[in-house]
Structure 1
Amino acid sequence: MPHPQGGPPAHPVPAADTEAAPGAVRRTASGAAGPPAGAGLRPPARPVLRAAAALAAALLALSLLSLLTGSNTIPMSRSWDFLTGDPSARADAHVRLAVMDVRLPRTLAGILVGAALGAAGCLLQAVTRNPLAETGLLGVNSGAALGVVVGLTYFGTDSAYGILLWALAGGVLASGVVLLLAASGRAAASPLRLVLAGSALGATFHGMTSYVLLGTQSTFDDYRYWTIGSLANVETSTALALAPLVVAGLAIAFGAVRPLSALALGDDAARALGHHPARIRLVVAVAVTLLAGAAVAMAGPIAFLGLLAPYAARVVTGPRMAPQLLLSALVAADVMIAADILARIVIRPWETPVSVLLALVGGPLLIWIARSRGMLSLGAPGARS
């Protein structure tokens, strides 16, 4: 009831009630229940920008540290002199070899492999709505392994570049077969069909790989070196040759951000918004094939990175797909470079395979995520936080 003098209402609402908690039901002037407070509001962009800037700065610092650090006896100060143009360091062939021919290519490869695996894992978790999805889900890893074994055994491949090409071809072939199996018949390629097809093909390729390896000891020795996952023998030409594949995969991924956001609401909601779920999954599968195929070809199978990076990104971004994809790539690139640096120094003068370090860290982290209720809620792709 209004005040007789036209002043404030007779029963003013307490100030504490005017700012309802997010998710609380609001009442309209007529008393009807309105939408929850904060509904439809996006999380502020500043935390995402700060996180992206911090991760990018960390990547630059780690890359510089990667150029300065090695498993040999060259001191960091000598490597720094080479990078800053000191004439005596520039004239030292040993320092030049270590920095330009060993550390620079593996640093470039680490950035590419990390960004590719992080983005691929984020895409797979979103398109399958499966928080445990990673790059092996479409059979890329098992296809790449079979390709390497076939090249070594039946075609006499004996160069690192040849192994790279066979790994890439095997990964692309496996992903293509998974898509054909998932979309066979009249039904579209649903997340469940993609997962089942990828698991079945991965098991089949793994059996074929084991069968070939059991009969050829020389192939097993070469394959064992590739499958441990390492950046030790990557050359600059190899990294530059596969960089366009990673860039193309990332471009396709960011182009599919809006359809993926719609797909997170469900297939029916995506169709109502004018998108085609089957077409979205096909585009995402192409992007994942390019990203994961290039990463596996360069470094071999790397576990856990594509699984864990999206979790870390969702802590900051929530369900928003574009920043989630960006931060997943940056987080994975940072972790990959840091793990590669540690791989050179933990048992110096020898090296530890980078995949071993990632597995040692990734296993306990995955157990922690499985036991953490808060992290599981963040882990559901498309879930509103």
Structure 2
Amino acid sequence: MKRNILQWRSLDKQVICTLFLFLVSLTLPFLQSRENRISEEITVHMLSLGFVPILLLLAPPLMLLASVIIPEKSHARFLVSASMAFGVFFPLLVLAIAGSALVEDQGAFARYSPASGMYVYLASVSILYFMQKSLQTRDKIALFFVLLLVLGMGLLGMFDRLGILLEARNLGTRLAREILSHIRITGISLLISMLIGIPIAFLAFINKAVRRVVFPILNVLQTIPGIALFGLLIAPLAALSRTFPVLREWGIQGIGNAPAIIALSMYALYPIIRYTYTSLNGIDEQVVLAAKGMGMNSTQLWKIVRLPLATVGILHGIRVALIQTIGNATLAKLIGGDGLGVLVFEGLGQASVDMVLLGMLLIIALTVVSDRLFQLLINLFTPASLTREER
């Protein structure tokens, strides 16, 4: 009982912070429209949307406020759940209806987009979800139905004039190619860094001299800005491709995906080597001595003791490198590479906010999906005893 009260007090503080963000969203532009993709934007505040949209948008924060005031905590928790679900659905509903009405008389190329107020509003709702230690079943079911409703709205054409979707539609099959290119660049870079980094980490664990050389080099490498490292590789790779024409046939030249992959692989080495070394070095010496006392030789010690105990830590290092590489791969466009960075930098060059936003949202989605899938893989390799301890 005391634990539940303490948890609810902590929840109260987070709810108050979320309510503050809701208030901030009221002061910012909520929607914006453009007559075409590069024209000047016209912004609309929440309080200018009309009575019904305002009522819908105020309902979630009012539910949150009621959850803090009412004494019955079970009812208060239900209000928080309702606020979370409606906090996702109502702003998207208002975006579809009010946005379509906003561009109705602005011409065939007009489009609407969320503005800063809506982003702050949705960020507030996201905090409500993230502050939950584990989502209850009703929260998951409610979110599932909200997503179904939003999908249904999209199929009915309610988001046809949304700027991000217009950009995606204009890109056509090119969008899928850039997504696949981003995944390919990330995957190749990560594979190279794993093939190089994990053996180096093992050597650093075994040999102190290797350790003294490797970690200072990695520390220096991490201080080099990403754009600088990409640029530094152009000249040597261009010289190599001129000296050995076969390299150009393999796609290795001064610009393109090759220097991007090399730079990304170099950046991904640090988390892989550091986590692998730390995992091996962190194994309890008493466990190793016990294994030796049982008569295990060096090969058996690695196969039965060290590698199984270090696997989870090694996977965490690969996970960090993966997330880092997905983000850094955006810079590949600067040296002629492919990937979702093409959308970001082309959008900046064309002053198309929607294209930039499309690229960034796809990168975020790819990062979140990759992280969750890798977390599932880590859970498979985590011993059941450790899983019970965490719970």
Q: TM-score, normalised by structure 1?
A: 0.28
- Structure with greater helix share of residues: 2
